[in-house]
Amino acid sequence: MQTKLYEGWYQLAFERELKNPVTPVKVAQLPLNLVRTAGGIQAFDAACPHRGAHLGYGGRLDTDAIICPFHGRRIGLGEDSDCPYKVRRYPTLSVGGLLFVLIGERRDHGFRAFLKELDRDHFFVQGFTMVAKTDPETVIENGFDPDHFRAVHGLKYTPDLRLVSGSNGEMVVEGTFVISPSENGSNTSTSSIRFIARIFSPNLCVTKLCSAQGEHLVISAATPADDGQCTIRVSLALPPGPNGQPPDPQVVRALLRDSKLAYDQDLVIWQNLVPGAPCRFDAGDELVIAFRKFCHTFLEAEHHAQGGSR
């Protein structure tokens, strides 16, 4: 069975991962190339429209075209190219070393403007990458699946989370995590963390966490492969310190460490889910059900991903 290919935003890479002028990548069954152009890193269909060679393997960048490794044709980059053969350009977004591509131009849901606004006064930290043998939906929904926080992560209190309306069609979950004294290192009182998750696509969620110690945002992306696995990339966006200084490196390391620990705990569950097992939702699954319905809306133009080259 093929992996679902949704429209919407995907994170394809950290810029630090891109070593060559042309880098082949894949979103489910859709082969793409990331190309360093005069306008920055951009994404294009990878299949040569002449005879179907993958332009990312052996293709040579020649200004605004790729020389196909199969027959030497000059393949223009973008629909506005003057070359007889050309490949589609996809909208891309590069902020703070994080590189995203949009499949289906109607599916932005405010993400570009949201990240650009963050970029005005926040510091972005390229985080970690891991591979999981599960679907991206499971990865993303675990960020706001209330019951699993007690069962998997050992929290004493189930967080109070609720669905609210997003201003640009994104899915938004808000609520509060109550942290017990043993969990926050205190001997006397509980503490609370304000939680706002914005889900911009089935593969991308930005979560804002606010506590007495400050606030930070976690950018979680899960990009599917065509073999039942997905690549997870987790990054941070943090406000500046006093006088506009960068965040404390020790704080950054602690946040990434805690995020990685949470994903490692989830990974044990994800990679051992029983294929084909029945899924019987109950009242505690309200947010997960809403998310699955949200995901379904991104499948309306699945054919868009099939005949990419023009």
Picking from 82, 54, 88, the residue whose alpha carbon sits closest to that of residue 74 is 82
pLDDT in tens, 75-122: 999 999 999 999 999 999 999 999 999 999 889 999 999 999 999 999
CATH topology of domain 111-297: Naphthalene 1,2-dioxygenase Alpha Subunit; Chain A, domain 1 (3.90.380)
pLDDT in tens, 3-17: 789 999 999 999 999
Mean pLDDT of the chain: 91
Domain boundaries defined on the chain: 8-107, 111-297
- Superfamily name with CATH number, domain 8-107: Rieske [2Fe-2S] iron-sulphur domain (2.102.10.10)
CA torsion angle for 278, 280, 284, 288 (degrees, to 10)?
60
Q: Give the predicted TM-score (pTM) of the model.
A: 0.91
Instruction: Assess contact for 56 and 23: CB atoms under 8 A.
Output: yes
User: What's residue 302's pLDDT?
Assistant: 46
Q: Report residue 241's pLDDT band, with 50, 70 and 90 as the boundaries.
A: confident
**186 vs 176: CA distance, rounded Å:** 18
Beta-carbon contacts of 274 under 8 Å, excluding residues fewer than 6 positions away, are none
